[in-house]
Amino acid sequence: MPKVAIYPGSFDPVTNGHIDIIERGLKLFDKIIVSILYNPNKKYLFSLEERLEMLRDCTKHFKNIEIDSFDGLLVDYAASRKAHAILRGLRAMSDFEYEFQMALMNRRLNRDVQTVFLMTGLRWIFTSSSIIKEAVQFGGNIEGMVPPLVKKKLKAKFAPAVGRGRSRKN
């Protein structure tokens, strides 16, 4: 039976850290379904459609990958897609508590689905969608942290950028 993993997340937007996890995950699994959580109660910078489009574009060079979205419980979605693993990336220690809690809850909800963590590459250790959005918002250079299309889309979202790090007294 092919080994299928779900790589779930918000991907708001996808970063090079996510791409690194997908690339390395593909060495472990026959297929990875990268799936965006649809959560109407949460505010995102990019719409679900925009996030799907960016993910599709940035992963088109990979084989054995599918881009999808889901709602409800992740383990139910994993079972419906016949996946036995959930793939998550771990960066700094700060990720650990949340990931540990989520993995244990998911295990309690469905013991047939295993969570597999991949340690992020050292160069992506402090890369997160949130910190990148904040940097771009204030005109910071995020070259090399996100795929080129994402960089373009982020710039368009925040143009014209507010504030340039000057004292507000002047």
Active site residue 31: no
Q: Percentage helix, strand, coil, to 5, in the chain?
A: 40, 20, 40
How far is the CA of 170 from the CAs of 138, 140, 167, in angstroms? 18, 21, 6
**Among 109, 73, 69, 83, CA closest to 5:** 83
One character per residue 63-82, x = contact with ligand PNS (rule: CB under 6 A):
----------xx--------
From the candidates 35, 88, 128, 129, give the one annotated as an active-site residue: 129
Choice between 21 and 37, CB closer to ligand PNS: 37
Choice between 106 and 127, CB closer to ligand PNS: 106
Residue 104 within binding range of ligand PNS, rule CB under 6 A: no
Residue 10 within binding range of ligand PNS, rule CB under 6 A: yes
Active site residue 18: yes
As a whole number of angstroms, the distance between CA 161 and CA 47 comes to: 20
One character per residue 30-59, x = contact with ligand PNS (rule: CB under 6 A):
-------x----------------------
Q: Smallest distance from the beta carbon of 8 to ligand PNS, in angstroms?
A: 4
| Burial annotation 30-64 (CB, 10 A radius, 16+ → b, else e) | ebbbbbbbeeeeeebbbebeebbebbebbbeeeee
**Among 53, 27, 69, CA closest to 147:** 53
Q: How far apart are the first and last CA of the chain?
A: 66
Please identify which residue in 28, 92, 104, 105 interacts with ligand PNS, judged by CB under 6 A: 105
Choice between 102 and 131, CB closer to ligand PNS: 102
Contacts with ligand PNS, residue ranges (CB under 6 A): 8-10, 37, 73-74, 102, 105-106
Residues annotated as catalytic (active site), given as ranges: 18, 42, 91, 129
